[in-house]
Amino acid sequence: MRLRQGDTMKLVGQVTVSQNREIQLLLGDLTDFPGEHAVDILVVSAFPNDYSPTPHSLIGALSRRGLSVAKLSNAKEFDLRQHFSCWLSSEISPRIPGLEFRRVLCFEPRARGGPPQLVGDIFQALAPFTFAAPNIRSVAMPIVAAGDQGYSVTTMLPPLMDAAVHWLQVGFPIEKIKLVARDEFALKEALPIFRSYSPATPAKSGGQGTEATLTHPSEKQYDVFVSYSRKDERAASTLAKALQEHSLRVFIDRSEIKPGAAWQQEIFDALELCSATAVLFSPDFLDSKVCKEEFGIAWARHREDERVLIFPLLIRESNLPTYMRLVNYVDCRVSDPARIKAAATDLVDLLGRFDGRDRVGRNRAPHR
């Protein structure tokens, strides 16, 4: 498929996810696209603190259009590089014709990993700005890491599609994700993958669009998923034991969830089997890629379905990002066993009210 003279962006295909959320594949130039494809943010990737406008990078293309990512980095609105490997620019002003986005999200992974790890980090980077201000709802990005970082489109697109579909299905509030192939060579690699994609088993699509579906188990296998850093294992065990004493089924052992080719999917599957997620906030929780992934998925499920509970406990003083502070936590500092056991009672009460089972007569509201 070739762009006609005068065209700057061509919609090639789309995947429609639940509640009219879409993933689109486009051919064209991310530095010159028409108003109908305008988005809230453009995602760019960079090596840490390196915004050099190299000839074949998106940062270089933006520089040639008059937008310097290096200058944007000097006036970041949100800097979450310590825990989320990203920063968000202030609104771009004055606007430059052809750059139809309000802000730039710069993704700077601290350590290079394989494609699945990179993809997981991108959605972690987006989460703080979709669940809280500035409430991003549309995103454009290249097929990430398929440029200067050296990965092929066929390597990067499958995990990117898998992660995008599953995040949207569990309630990630993004409405449109636009993936842009920079040239016909990249499109030739991307199009068969995109058109044959489904969240479970690849199946050929009859046209430019396909609809992704997700089946949900009718019966939960567990009551509570406990999300915690390994360094907080003692506090997690205290909570799990207290919950089990009230006959709750607890998923706590993550020994089978390890960073690797399918680690993100395993988290989706495990959380889908649970009615509630208990989160143990601590500095080590914020440093854990897996913990942040679990929180993001749990928070998205909670926003999508209020019957799905998310129940945070602050067990050690932490500099929580805004979106993590939107859900009231129970103050259990400093990993106080008595407070953790009391929090377990609160959670039992909440679950009892949701499923009609009056396990405990006492009800204590979560507090800060």
Q: Model confidence over 125-158: pLDDT tens digits?
A: 999 999 999 999 999 999 876 666 667 888 889 8
- 336 and 245 within one domain: yes
Among residues 190, 211, 232, the one where a domain terminates is: 211
pLDDT at 204: 36
Task: Give the chain's mean pLDDT.
Answer: 84
Confidence of residue 329 (pLDDT cuts 50, 70, 90): very high
Lowest mean pLDDT among 40-49, 112-121, 152-161: 112-121
Residue-wise pLDDT tens digits, 12-37? 999 988 778 999 999 999 999 888 99
Range of weakest confidence among 34-43, 123-132, 160-169, 198-207: 198-207
Judge whether residue 117 has pLDDT over 80. no
Asked whether residue 155 falls in the same domain as residue 16, the answer is yes
The number of distinct structural domains making up the chain is 2
Banded pLDDT at 367 (limits 50, 70, 90): very low
**pLDDT higher than 80, residue 200:** no
* Percent of the chain's residues with pLDDT above 90: 56
Do the domain assignments include residue 333? yes
Residue 1 belongs to a domain: no
Taking 70 as the threshold, does the pLDDT of residue 198 lie above it? no
Question: 4 in a domain, yes or no?
Answer: no
Distance separating alpha carbons of residues 189 and 12, to the nearest angstrom: 13
Which pLDDT band holds residue 263 (cuts at 50, 70, 90)? Answer: low
> Is the same domain home to 313 and 230?
yes
Residues 203 and 286 in one domain: no
Residue 197 sits in the same domain as residue 253: no
Residue at 100 is within a domain: yes
In a domain, 368, yes or no: no
Please state the rounded mean pLDDT for residues 34-50: 92
Last residue of a domain, one of 181, 211, 241: 211
Residues 239 and 278 sit within 8 Å (Cβ to Cβ): yes
Q: How far from chain centre, in Å, is Cα 31?
A: 25
Asked whether residue 251 falls in the same domain as residue 150, the answer is no
Say yes or no: 180 and 242 in one domain: no
- Of 357, 286, 294, the closest CA to residue 319 belongs to 286
Domain end, chosen from 161, 189, 211, is at 211
Residue 309 lies in a domain: yes
The predicted pLDDT at position 359 comes to 39
Q: Is residue 22 part of a domain?
A: yes
Can you give the pLDDT at residue 156? 87
Whether residue 226 sits in one domain with residue 96: no
Same domain membership, residue 53 and residue 14: yes
What pLDDT was estimated at residue 146? 67
Strand ranges for the chain from DSSP E: 9-17, 21-28, 39-45, 76-79, 86-89, 101-107, 138-142, 176-181, 209-211, 222-227, 250-251, 274-281, 309-314, 330-331
Residue 257 lies in a domain: yes
The predicted structure's pLDDT at residue 34:
85
Q: State whether 168 and 141 are in the same domain.
A: yes
β-strand partners of 26 = 11, 180
Whole-number Å distance between alpha carbons of 187 and 26: 8
The reply to whether 239 and 169 lie within a common domain is no
Reply yes or no on whether the pLDDT at 241 is more than 80: yes
Cβ atoms within 10 Å, residue 287: 13
6 pLDDT more than 50: no
Are 203 and 226 within one domain?
no
Q: Report the pLDDT value the prediction gives residue 366, as an integer from 0 to 100.
A: 46
**What's 268-336 look like in SS3?**
HHHHHCEEEEEEEECHHHHHCHHHHHHHHHHHHHHHHCCCCEEEEEECCCCCCCHHHHCCCCEECCCCC
Question: What are residue 52's phi and psi, to 5 degrees?
Answer: -65, 130
Hey, how many other C-beta atoms are within 10 angstroms of the C-beta on 75? 8
Q: Which domain holds residue 323?
A: 222-355
Question: For 242-252, what is the mean pLDDT?
Answer: 94
Residue 70 has pLDDT above 60, yes or no: yes
User: Which pLDDT band, with edges at 50, 70 and 90, does 307 fall under?
Assistant: confident
* CATH code where residue 250 lies: 3.40.50.10140
CATH code (residue 104): 3.40.220.10
